[in-house]
A and B are shown apart, each in its own frame.
With several copies, the nearest count.
Chain A
Amino acid sequence: MELTVKKAKLWMEALNEKIQKHKEYLSELDQAIGDGDHGVNMARGFQEVMNKLSDADYATPSDLLKDVAMVLMSKVGGASGPLYGTAFLKMAMATKNKEKLTEEDLTLAVEEAIKGLEQRGKAQLKDKTMLDVWIPVHHYMKQNSPIDWGNLEATAKGAMEATKELLALKGRAAYLKERSVGHIDPGSVSSYYLFQTLAETMKEGDE
């Protein structure tokens, strides 16, 4: 199964739906250990992504992902704006000019996104950030060919849930020290949605 422009758009639509639907939940998670805006930020950003995509035609998934990146960068703000912006930009750059993305292409794209996230946010595995979802997912993708998208989703979900027990060292949750333990990281949940909707899109087979 490959990611076409059409599928990339479906992915973004599904992700947007997910985020709008769980906007309050994401904000609640962020109120517990952050400043309570993650849901609002993501919902605002992806609404703008939808506005952008609805008007546009793209030759490659890369072009589409680049636009997603630019919108997130300029409409989200906070930590998640530049981080997701960077992640999508790196995915776009890693897949430049390709009409369809193979599973290998996607694996490489996620790898580049992680490098971008690490460079921007200076966080590591187990710092209780969205990286705690991205890294295990990438690990799973590298080890499994072809990818079982159901398993990938389960991996993302487990990784997201595992952030609950971590002590935050980066992001706002770090200011709570021990009190950050026992709460799921909001950015890990939005990243889980990202991979969950990607998996669903990929599972749906070629159109």
Chain B
Amino acid sequence: MKKIINHPERVVTEMLEGLVAAYPNQLKLIDGRAVVTRKNVPVANKVGIISGGGSGHEPAHAGYVGQGMLDAAVAGEVFTSPTPDQILEAIKAVDSGKGVFMVVKNYTGDVMNFDMAAELAEMEGIQVDKVVVNDDVAVEDSTFTTGRRGIAGTILVHKIAGAKAEMGATLADVKAVAEKVVKNVRSMGMAISPCTPPAVGKPSFTLGENEMEIGLGIHGEPGTERKPLATADEIATELTDHIFKDMPLSSGDEVAVMINGLGATPEMELFIVNRKVNQILKEKGIGVYETFVGNFMTSLEMAGCSVTLLKLDDELKDLLAAHANTPAFKK
């Protein structure tokens, strides 16, 4: 395992210290809790927005703490959901009395831990609600299973729910718009190389020189299918096809596009993928309102990418365009 770290067991703490050291006027760290909040929380008269999950997805989630997005982010160990007591700490730190909204990715662990924290917070008189993001179309949604995972589309939920809260919306209104995003956002990912969680020290899987994994998440797990490595255009086509199958789009629809790198993908490759995604959308007559290309939701040093499409209406467009100023996302 080659990493620029000091000790596998200290990566999360040291990373957060380094983050807060970089943005001392915007962020602060709740000591010993791995919770990063805006410097001025709770923001008066605003629904507090929190998110979080395992670490290893940087800049998610602490990089999205700031004006127009999150009030706090809770960091678990690498790829491990944070615990209820940490999450409770974040809820308490951001509650201005107007309630707290949690953006949770749909993983068994995350959902359970956030729910337990919400129960504890409610016992302390804090109103809490949540949305569960499940944008990954790699696995069909089904009531018999865990359902779909939350991946890069989560960032668009942060952005839009954050903008809504910043305008003074109620907890119910924030929830409504967040659910609208979840209903209209779909993603699908692929990778050409695995990652190595620091505490494990071994790559999550091995891939041949000419193989790729399609339909994988952001935790170094294998995907739904292993295939021969394809060209960027073929990959873009396959990922968007999967999305269209799940969420049909028609000529005249407008979308936001996110081409997300998994950590070790050169930006060059992300733009080559975007070129094709953009062509595909144009050919279908689908309007591209805005495009985001970069590392938004990573999986340590995995090489690969995901494509996210969010179908927009006027409300979503306005909220997407609203001011945001966080370390990793500015508008």
Real complex partners, A and B? yes
Stretch from A10-18, A137-145, A165-173 that touches the partner: A165-173
> Are B78 and A82 in contact (CB-based, < 8 A)?
no
Which bucket holds chain A's interface residue count? 35 or more
Q: Give a binary string over B54-87; 1 marks a CB under 8 Å from any A CB, 0 the rest.
A: 1000000000000000000000111111111100
Stretch from B141-149, B250-258, B314-322 that touches the partner: B141-149
> Are A169 and B144 in contact (CB-based, < 8 A)?
yes
A37 vs B9: C-alpha distance when bound (angstroms): 13
Q: Does A73 contact B (CB under 8 A)?
A: yes
> Are A175 and B224 in contact (CB-based, < 8 A)?
yes
A32 vs B109: C-alpha distance when bound (angstroms): 18
Q: How many residues of B contact A (CB 8 A)?
A: 37
> Are B112 and A175 in contact (CB-based, < 8 A)?
no
Q: Does A78 contact B (CB under 8 A)?
A: yes
Residue of A34, A35, A82 touching B113 (CB-CB under 8 A)? A82
Q: Does A61 contact B (CB under 8 A)?
A: no
Q: Does A179 contact B (CB under 8 A)?
A: yes
Residue of B nearest to A178 (CB): B224
Q: Does A52 contact B (CB under 8 A)?
A: no
Q: Does B220 contact A (CB under 8 A)?
A: yes
In the complex, which residues of chain A have a beta carbon less than 8 angstroms from the beta carbon of B81? 77-79, 81
In the complex, which residues of chain B have a beta carbon less than 8 angstroms from the beta carbon of A170? 108, 145-146
Residue of A nearest to B139 (CB): A175
> Are A37 and B221 in contact (CB-based, < 8 A)?
no
| Interface residues in chain B, defined as those with a beta carbon under 8 Å from any beta carbon in chain A | 54, 76-85, 107-109, 112-113, 116, 138-139, 144-146, 149, 197, 199-200, 202, 204-205, 216-217, 219-224
A83 vs B216: C-alpha distance when bound (angstroms): 25
Q: A35-B221, A36-B197, A73-B84 are in contact. Are A82 and B145 (CB under 8 A)?
A: no
In the complex, which residues of chain A have a beta carbon less than 8 angstroms from the beta carbon of B78? 37
A82 vs B82: C-alpha distance when bound (angstroms): 10
Residue of A nearest to B198 (CB): A40
Distance to closest chain A CB from B217 (angstroms): 6
Q: A37-B79, A170-B145 are in contact. Are A175 and B221 (CB under 8 A)?
A: yes
> Are B84 and A41 in contact (CB-based, < 8 A)?
no
> Are B145 and A78 in contact (CB-based, < 8 A)?
no
Distance to closest chain A CB from B97 (angstroms): 27
> Are A174 and B112 in contact (CB-based, < 8 A)?
no
Q: Does A176 contact B (CB under 8 A)?
A: yes
Q: Does A21 contact B (CB under 8 A)?
A: no
> Are B221 and A176 in contact (CB-based, < 8 A)?
yes
In the complex, which residues of chain A have a beta carbon less than 8 angstroms from the beta carbon of B112? 79, 82-83, 120-121
Q: Does A75 contact B (CB under 8 A)?
A: yes
Q: Can you pick out 10 interface pairs between chain A and chain B where the beta carbons lie within 8 Å of each other?
A: A34-B219, A40-B200, A44-B77, A77-B76, A81-B109, A83-B112, A121-B112, A172-B217, A175-B138, A179-B222
> Are B145 and A73 in contact (CB-based, < 8 A)?
no
A60 vs B242: C-alpha distance when bound (angstroms): 56
Q: Does A101 contact B (CB under 8 A)?
A: no
A97 vs B208: C-alpha distance when bound (angstroms): 58
> Are A176 and B222 in contact (CB-based, < 8 A)?
yes
In the complex, which residues of chain B have a beta carbon less than 8 angstroms from the beta carbon of A203? none
The CB with the most chain A CB atoms within 10 A, among B145, B205, B224, is that of: B145
> Are A40 and B139 in contact (CB-based, < 8 A)?
no
> Are B83 and A81 in contact (CB-based, < 8 A)?
yes
> Are B109 and A27 in contact (CB-based, < 8 A)?
no
> Are B77 and A82 in contact (CB-based, < 8 A)?
no
Q: Does A118 contact B (CB under 8 A)?
A: no
Q: Does A91 contact B (CB under 8 A)?
A: no
List 14 additional A-B contacts (Cβ < 8 Å) besides A36-B204, A172-B221. A27-B200, A34-B221, A35-B204, A35-B220, A36-B79, A37-B80, A39-B200, A75-B83, A79-B112, A82-B109, A82-B112, A82-B116, A171-B146, A175-B138
Distance to closest chain A CB from B142 (angstroms): 9
> Are A37 and B144 in contact (CB-based, < 8 A)?
no
> Are A31 and B84 in contact (CB-based, < 8 A)?
no
Residue of B nearest to A175 (CB): B139
The CB with the most chain B CB atoms within 10 A, among A79, A80, A121, A175, is that of: A175
